[in-house]
Chains A and B, each alone.
Chain A
Amino acid sequence: MDRRILLVTLIALVALGSAFAGGGQEEEAPKELTLLTWNLPHYEEQINGWIADFEEMHPDATIDWVDVKGGEWSTYFQTQLAAGDPPDIIDVQGALWYQYAADGVLLDLTERFAAEPAVKDRFYPDLFEAAANFNGNYYMLPLYTPSTVLFYNKPMFEEAGLPGPPKTMEELVEYSRALTEDERGGFITLNFDWLYWPLFASNGVEILTSDKSAAAFNTPAAVEVLETLTALTDEGAIPAVTWTGRWAEPNGAFGAGQAGMLNAHVTAFNAFSSNSDWANEDTIGVASFPGNYAVPNYHSLGITSTTKYPDLAWDFVKIVTSDKWAQEIVSSLGTLSGNKAADDIALNDPEFQADNPVKVRMFEVERSNMANLTGMTGLAADSRIKDAVYTNLTRAIFGEVSAQKALNDAEKAVNAILAE
């Protein structure tokens, strides 16, 4: 008897719940898009501004913003993809998007750019090709576009009797040794996303052959570079943290005065200057890396191919990369936006020039090297190629194997990847 009462009660509750669920008229919900950004919590005000402008243009739509730290971004996005619920618009760093484009995750924007050429013409041509082109089609819009420069510690240079920043690789090596004393080294480079590649490019070493079918870096010049880097690391002229740290440690080391030169992309200035008691416009010099090579470490916006609202997403990315918001990138993030007109306006602003002499110098150097960008494979397997090369280079640098063996092993690994 008790069981029957319980059963009847349960059925009644279910029926009641269904009645409420099915009853009444529902209001039409706004169209919701999701924006996933890469480590931009400090840019909240501007991102809310993007969203406000978008919602003013499309009152029936809204953007839900999610920000994830760089180290977790790919894991987060991958799990969203596997769950079948990826965000509509993504901000992604470096060449990671090549893999997504190859897998059909990103919407092909080629026809949209063709229909609205003014959008494509906003950007520096070389940078746009690097940041948006995969296999002849366009998938991304540059959001901000830092590339590498050579920072140097002016007081250390004066103390060591050095005339100025090195203009050749030989001078870089010589100055690194001259700046080394006690526990202080001469040169640090950031090592992720090919940022160290100017060390090889300046000696005529390419990553891949022109048809991208094979590794091209196993050359006598590369062996010489690697042996030099090994010797400098052994002597302490290049601190070991250069090769084992990623972002915080090398920047921190330069900011702490542990080396006289730093090869890094321009956003590193915010990182090391905020943690140092010496870095200011009088003490920090900015120059081109010898040979004028630079590695872009851009952030760009893409639209996922599964979005339900491709036209709305396209409108949103156009707003974000418009002159108005691109100028904010320069003044707030301290990096070029990739939008030529916006960068010009910001850089020619007397107030910006007076308040940010180091940044103005950084941007001058960056813009002068845009035709000399290096460290880009343009392949979907870029991450794996990068890992195969770098892990073998460090084996040589730390004395585990000879430079030649390291390059042989790296070449074998890269060719195996390319053959897949």
Chain B
Amino acid sequence: MKHKHPRGLIALYLLPSIAVLFLYRWLPVMWNFFLSFQNWKPIGENEWIGLKSYQTIIADPVFWESLENTLIYFFIGTPIAIALALLLGLLVNEPIRGRNFYRTVIFLPYPITPVAIGLIWKWMLNDRVGLVNHILRSLGLIENGIPFLQSFQFALPSVIGTTIWQVVGYFMILVLAGLQTIPTSLNDAALIDGAGTIRRTWSITLPLIKSTLFLCFIIGIINSFTVFDMVYVMTNGGPGHATEFLVTYIYRNAFEFSRLGYSAAMTVVMFIVLLAVTFLSNRLSGGEAGGGRNYE
């Protein structure tokens, strides 16, 4: 009887996927890295300029402003979104009437395309005809409309708030999935011992969904470094560069200023920052992607 060796067949079946991954991921990343040391020319050979683009980055105030905005989104916006998702998740995990309805309504914004959300909120935040200003005026909290997206003070919080609104439902679903994995016996035992709701949440629930929360953090990191469409639609980085994020600034340099080499250098720096933030988050959460100890 012949013995079949499936390894060759496995490799054959994997080959198309690996080829696609190589062509559309690895090769462009490598090409981008080398481009970061060049001055891209649309016609003719690129000019090798070494570290000049990286030196320019150091001296570019707009780069630092966009990095700052990106990190503000991550360090402030993401924790707020996770905290809200956790609160909502704990609420809709209770056996209350209509909880499926609440879960659906809270999750609904997530599948909507960010461009549509950006347009909707752009009008909702309009200082003359926007719903938000109308409500604030009706409640007597303000006299004149607040130009949320035209104000250096409010533009960035408004954009971050919109992204939180969209993503909180998705985080809530992840939290709910995490909550389902907690053995009910643990909570029952804690109840018998006289532990209150807050105590049980802090000592049992949160530690056991740490990996879920870490996952939300990672998604939050990715979102903060890739939020392009909503910003483009709502403010296009303005007023000034008040809502300029790294990814929008990279786009602007590549496609408005034709500086593909400089944009490539910024993406390399962005990649390094992303790695550092992810590594730091993993260490702060106890390592092992937030796994830590499990209660049996």
Please list the residues of chain A having a beta carbon within 8 angstroms of any beta carbon in chain B.
74-75, 78, 81-82, 86, 99-100, 103-105, 183, 240-241, 243-244, 246, 258, 305-306, 381, 383-384, 387, 391-392, 394-395, 398-400, 409, 413, 416
Q: Which residues 213-240 of B have a CB within 8 angstroms of A?
A: 235-236, 238-240
Residue of B whose beta carbon sits closest to that of A253: B128
B42 is contacted by which of A103, A387, A395 (Cβ under 8 Å)? Answer: A103
Contact indicator B260/A74 (Cβ below 8 Å): no
CB pair A241 B43 closer than 8 Å:
no
Give the complex CA separation of A391 and B43 in angstroms. 31
- Top 8 closest pairs, chain A to chain B, by CB: A244-B150, A81-B42, A75-B255, A240-B150, A391-B240, A104-B43, A240-B147, A395-B240
CB-CB under 8 A from A244, the residues of chain B are 147, 149-150, 235, 238-239
Of all chain A residues, which has the CB nearest B232?
Answer: A71
B115 contacts A by Cβ under 8 Å: no
How far is the CB of A395 from the nearest CB of chain B, in Å? 5
A183-B128, A240-B150 as given contacts; A394 in contact with B258, CB under 8 Å: no
On chain A, the residues within 8 Å of B151 by CB distance are: 240, 398
In the assembled complex, the CB of B68 is this many whole angstroms from the nearest CB of chain A, namely 14
Separation of A325 and B63 alpha carbons in the complex (Å): 46
Quick one: given A240-B147, A394-B240, are A82 and B42 in contact (CB under 8 Å)?
A: yes
Please measure, in the bound complex, the distance between the C-alpha atom of A306 and the C-alpha atom of B61, giving whole angstroms.
37
Cα–Cα distance between A392 and B239 once the two chains are bound (Å): 10
Q: Contact between A78 and B258 (Cβ–Cβ < 8 Å)?
A: yes
Contact partner, B238, options A74, A86, A394, A400, Cβ 8 Å = A394
Other CB < 8 Å A-B pairs besides A78-B42, A305-B43, A400-B240, 6 of them?
A82-B260, A99-B257, A103-B41, A240-B151, A306-B43, A394-B239
From known contacts A244-B150, A394-B240, infer whether A105 and B255 are also in contact, taking CB-CB under 8 Å. no
The CA-CA distance from A400 to B153 in the complex, in Å, is 9
Q: When chains A and B are docked, how far (Å) is the Cα of A93 from the Cα of B116? A: 28
* A105 contacts across to B, CB distance below 8 A: 42-43
Question: Which residues in B have their C-beta under 8 angstroms from that of A399?
Answer: 152
B256 within 8 A of A: yes
Q: List 5 A-B contacts (CB under 8 A).
A: A100-B258, A104-B44, A240-B150, A244-B238, A398-B239
B103 interfacial contact with A, CB 8 Å = no
Residue B84 at the chain A interface, CB threshold 8 Å: no
Residues of B within 8 A of A241 (CB): 150
> Across the interface, which residues of A come within 8 angstroms of B252, CB to CB?
387
Least distance between B5 CB and chain A CB atoms (Å) = 14
CB contact between B255 and one of A74, A183, A400, A409 (< 8 Å): that residue: A74
Q: Is B254 part of the binding interface, using a Cβ–Cβ cutoff of 8 Å? A: yes
User: Chain B nearest CB: distance from A321 CB in Å?
Assistant: 25
Asked if B241 is at the interface (CB within 8 A of a chain A CB), the reply is yes
In the complex, chain A residues whose CB is within 8 Å of the CB of B239: 243-244, 394, 398
CB distance from B43 to the nearest CB of A (A): 4
What string of 1s and 0s marks CB contacts (under 8 Å) between B191-205 and chain A?
Answer: 000000000000000
User: Contact partner of B256 among A103, A383, A398, A413, CB < 8 A?
Assistant: A383
Inter-chain CA distance A306–B41, complex, in Å, is: 14
Question: Is residue B59 within 8 Å, beta carbon to beta carbon, of the partner chain?
Answer: yes
Which of B150, B235, B236, B258 is the one whose CB lies under 8 Å from A243? B150
| A306 to B42 alpha-carbon distance, docked (Å) | 11
Q: Are B240 and A392 in contact (CB under 8 A)?
A: yes
Q: Which residue of chain B lies nearest to A81 when distances are taken between CB atoms in the complex?
A: B42
* Minimum Cβ distance to chain A for residue B245 (Å): 15
- B44 neighbours in A (Cβ, 8 Å): 104
Residues on B with C-beta less than 8 A from A258 are: 128
CA distance A103 to B46 in the complex (A): 11
B4 to chain A, nearest CB (A): 12
Residues on A with C-beta less than 8 A from B149 are 244
